[in-house]
Structure 1
Amino acid sequence: MMVNFADKSVLGLAADPIRHDLGLSATGFGLANSAFFLLFSLCGAMGGLLADRVRPRWLLLGMALLWSIAQMPMALGGGLAALVVSRIVLGAAEGPAFPVAQHSALAWFPDNRRNLPGALLSVGIALGVVLAAPSLTWLIQHHGWRSSFAAVAVAGVMWAAAWTVFGGDRSSQARAHSVIVESGNNEEGSSPAPSYRRILATRTWIGATIGYFSTYWMIALSLVWVPSYLHDGLGYSTTTAAGLVAGLWAINAITLLSQAGVTGWLLRRGVSSRWARGRVGGVSLLVSAFGCGALSQAARGPVTVLLLLVGFGLCGAMSTVAVTTVAELVPARRRGGALGLMNAAVTTGGLIAPVLTGYMVDTQGSAGYQHAVLLAAALLLLGGTACVTLIDPARDARLLTPSTVVVGR
């Protein structure tokens, strides 16, 4: 996930020189970024469903090699057409990464121990940007923006080589012995798994998906437009903006680990997941909504930095909450598909947010950034409310469990 999100961050970090060299307007640049998500959601769903049938170890390896290859056209001198095509291929390759990685990792742990490994995978997202922001910015400034594409391609190939040697897989064992991994109920292994249609109709899946959608909207803005917002909208230097981006993602990592600790502590003391996951995740989104709402009205200064860190840094906790909540709700035989379909729904935010923000900036100037942040606050408010009111895995798990039929003689 570190390599995955370093890949995603390149375009945002190199936004100004890319727009200058390729002659792109803000809307055109937003469209180029949205091209990344053209197949991202579809392939995310397909990859999740495939993970229920194919060993995730090989899926992850194939994806990493493909997304590394997709970076090379821009490293070797490609223009606008190559940029769009490479981003589409990159999105198709990276779409299934998060749900498949979570599906693979969570299979090794019982439900009340999944918060930390789930959070660590999400921390990889934050660390990818924390490390990429200063290092890739330095590369862009000293060796040109194309060197950053070459750097992330090499990192992907190196990861694939290491994964070939050290990567493990327990998903097949988890499916065969879901009785042990899930809840100790020896009836689960023999009972029919619920259909995806029934899973997607539960209030918990819907609430987690709405909350995660608002988080992914913020992730897309952070990757694509926050560097330009800090530089063009608030007047910070490129180096300072890169440092603030790294700080934002560092806060995100701390929040993820804190959420995992709080949620795990609550679950081990018998608190229901409705509170330990749904309420904790929902409150983090509501606090972020307040931060973004205030940020949209603030001028440059220390308070603005604090509001930026609150608005964009705290909401990331919902990515782990959503995954572990759905993993708790869904039996192992349907987990990959349920996570992939959720990922497909939420990542449509990445398709819409960059181009909509670019349009606002083109038509409204610097005020467009403020309105984009205000819109983000409204979405976070919606997501937090959905989490607090809809998520209840224990209730919905009972609805998915087949009724016991007693046949009398």
Structure 2
Amino acid sequence: MSTTAPAAAPPGAGKAARHDRRAWTVTLLLVVFMMVNFADKSVLGLAADEIRADLGLSATQFGLANSAFFLLFSVAAVLVGLAADRVSPKLLLLVMALLWSVAQVPAAIGGGLAVLVASRVFLGAAEGPAFPVAQQATLAWFPDHRRNLPGALITLGVTLGVIVSAPGLSWVIQEHGWRAALWVLVGVGLVWAAAWAVFGADGRHGVRDGERPTQQTPSVTAPDIPYRRIFRTRTWIGATLAYFTSYWTVAMMLTWLPSYLRNGLGYSADTAGRIVAGPWVVGAVVLLAQAAVTGRLMRRGAGSRKARGWVGGWLLALGAVCCLAVPLADGPTAKTVLITLGLGLGGAYATVAATAVAELAPPSRGGGALGAMNAVVTASGLAAPAVVGALVDAQGDAGYQNSVLLAGLLLVAGAVASFLLIDPARDTARLAA
């Protein structure tokens, strides 16, 4: 009798499997990180009516209080994004999570408008770099052709943060007050920080570390490419403009959608707390679908201009159509469906922008390129809450609907920028020349 020896495992197979397990563990933790991040952002919108009644605020004042969150948001995104090219992302993420928790304590304890504004400014500074650093930390574990899914999952954490937290936080607000909801978020942030300290880690994937470039992406290895050259590329400009319009809808959803549902469309507080998750559910489905479509196109040899720029452009265009159709709808149900689809589609652009810029920028400039984009983009978060608040004060309930129309017009501009400007392969080749 003869025996056949089992085939030996390929060299390095065990190491590769351990690397993959660690990569997906880090990705899962960072998905939760983004969930906590957007639960923090959404809590004031969920408690808008209660906070305005408690502190005696007009719609404009409440909008400005929410805009205060973004006062240092962009500055912090740039500074920490640049630091992420030199400092361990694991350390940066841990410090951010701890600062989130500390930032919310003063408003949770008590105080009026001044304390609330100061707390939100501090929180915004701590959370400003969250998305670009989380994206960079995640994408560093994967080669370019495998980045669509993990990039989409990080953005999915944004939508899951609102989907999961909105019903629970709404219940806490109704039963125990809006300050109790802040204490809940303080505790959740501290728990995540403890888990990240134990299980978090930095990845090392990139062209400079031996990754073989894809056919669509020429290798860019020069460590001294100035940031200004990256910022002048049509891809960086197009991704930033398109993402700016998308983030406007996100800021509007976070701050004013619950009030629109309650005051503009007549839903009860409990019902609004459930419906408010609708656009985020749509966004989650769209994000996963976008990652699948983009990945399939790239596997078939399509350039990232089509796989990322055009796919993202269609998302914004469809969202714009739904938003602009809201005045034509008859009754609150039809309007709710259009708003849900329009804001959900319009707010689902982040992965397209992040992966396009990550493909464009060399590894030594990835954090700065993403951080600068995020800084410009989130300036829309500074403007949107105040603009909508002013519309509501000036026009009453009609101001809510007009704010949706404004979002639709901005999404049209974003779609045009995505279609016409984004082409990472073209601009990467020019940077390498």
> Gapped runs of 5+ residues in structure 2?
1-33
Matching of residues 4-403 of structure 1 within 5 Å: 4-170=37-203, 173-174=204-205, 177-180=208-211, 182-183=213-214, 188-189=220-221, 191-402=222-433
Give the 3-state SS of the residue equivalent to 1:317 in structure 2: coil
Checking the alignment, whether the CA contact within 8 Å between 1:39 and 1:88 is kept in structure 2 is yes
1:204 and 1:186 map into 2 onto residues whose CA distance is 15
1:154 and 1:28 map into 2 onto residues whose CA distance is 28
1:129 and 1:187 map into 2 onto residues whose CA distance is 38
Give the 3-state SS of the residue equivalent to 1:116 in structure 2: helix
1:141 and 1:192 map into 2 onto residues whose CA distance is 54
1:56 and 1:80 map into 2 onto residues whose CA distance is 34
Question: Partner residue of 1:407?
Answer: none
Q: Could you tell me how far 1:299 is from its partner in structure 2? A: 4.2
Question: Partner residue of 2:31?
Answer: none
Give the 3-state SS of the residue equivalent to 1:54 in structure 2: coil
Q: Could you tell me how far 1:297 is from its partner in structure 2? A: 4.1
Checking the alignment, whether the CA contact within 8 Å between 1:179 and 1:188 is kept in structure 2 is no
Aligned identity (percent) is 58
Checking the alignment, whether the CA contact within 8 Å between 1:36 and 1:88 is kept in structure 2 is yes
Question: Partner residue of 2:12?
Answer: none
The aligned amino acid for 1:331 is P
Checking the alignment, whether the CA contact within 8 Å between 1:297 and 1:370 is kept in structure 2 is no
Measured against aligned partners, the alpha-carbon deviations of 1:248-271 in whole angstroms (never above 9, x if no partner) come to: 211111110110011011101101
1:187 to 1:330, Cα distance in 2 relative to 1, 3 A: closer
Checking the alignment, whether the CA contact within 8 Å between 2:207 and 2:213 is kept in structure 1 is no
1:133 and 1:328 map into 2 onto residues whose CA distance is 34
Q: Could you tell me how far 1:74 is from its partner in structure 2? A: 1.6
> Gapped runs of 5+ residues in structure 1?
403-409
Give the 3-state SS of the residue equivalent to 1:169 in structure 2: coil
Measured against aligned partners, the alpha-carbon deviations of 1:332-372 in whole angstroms (never above 9, x if no partner) come to: 11000000000000000000000011001001101111211
Q: Could you tell me how far 1:182 is from its partner in structure 2? A: 4.7
Q: Could you tell me how far 1:296 is from its partner in structure 2? A: 3.9
Measured against aligned partners, the alpha-carbon deviations of 1:190-215 in whole angstroms (never above 9, x if no partner) come to: x3442110101111111111110011
Q: Could you tell me how far 1:183 is from its partner in structure 2? A: 4.8
1:188 and 1:23 map into 2 onto residues whose CA distance is 55
Give the 3-state SS of the residue equivalent to 1:194 in structure 2: coil
Task: State the superposition RMSD in angstroms.
Answer: 1.5
2:350 and 2:219 map into 1 onto residues whose CA distance is 31
Checking the alignment, whether the CA contact within 8 Å between 1:208 and 1:391 is kept in structure 2 is yes
The aligned amino acid for 1:162 is A
Measured against aligned partners, the alpha-carbon deviations of 1:55-110 in whole angstroms (never above 9, x if no partner) come to: 00000000000011111112111211110000000000000000000001001111
When structure 1 is superposed on structure 2, of 314-323 and 329-338 the one drifting more is 314-323
TM-score, structure 2 length as denominator? 0.90
Measured against aligned partners, the alpha-carbon deviations of 1:229-280 in whole angstroms (never above 9, x if no partner) come to: 1111111111111111112211111110110011011101101100010000
Checking the alignment, whether the CA contact within 8 Å between 1:48 and 1:341 is kept in structure 2 is yes
The aligned amino acid for 2:131 is F
Checking the alignment, whether the CA contact within 8 Å between 2:218 and 2:425 is kept in structure 1 is no
2:238 and 2:139 map into 1 onto residues whose CA distance is 21
Question: Partner residue of 1:406?
Answer: none
The aligned amino acid for 2:177 is G
1:295 and 1:51 map into 2 onto residues whose CA distance is 42
1:340 to 1:303, Cα distance in 2 relative to 1, 3 A: same
When structure 1 is superposed on structure 2, of 149-158 and 179-188 the one drifting more is 179-188
Checking the alignment, whether the CA contact within 8 Å between 1:361 and 1:368 is kept in structure 2 is yes
Checking the alignment, whether the CA contact within 8 Å between 1:6 and 1:152 is kept in structure 2 is yes
1:21 and 1:142 map into 2 onto residues whose CA distance is 15
Checking the alignment, whether the CA contact within 8 Å between 2:145 and 2:214 is kept in structure 1 is no
Give the 3-state SS of the residue equivalent to 1:180 in structure 2: coil
Q: Could you tell me how far 1:23 is from its partner in structure 2? A: 0.5
Q: Could you tell me how far 1:300 is from its partner in structure 2? A: 3.1
The aligned amino acid for 1:136 is L
Checking the alignment, whether the CA contact within 8 Å between 1:39 and 1:92 is kept in structure 2 is yes
Q: How many residues align?
A: 399
TM-score, structure 1 length as denominator? 0.95
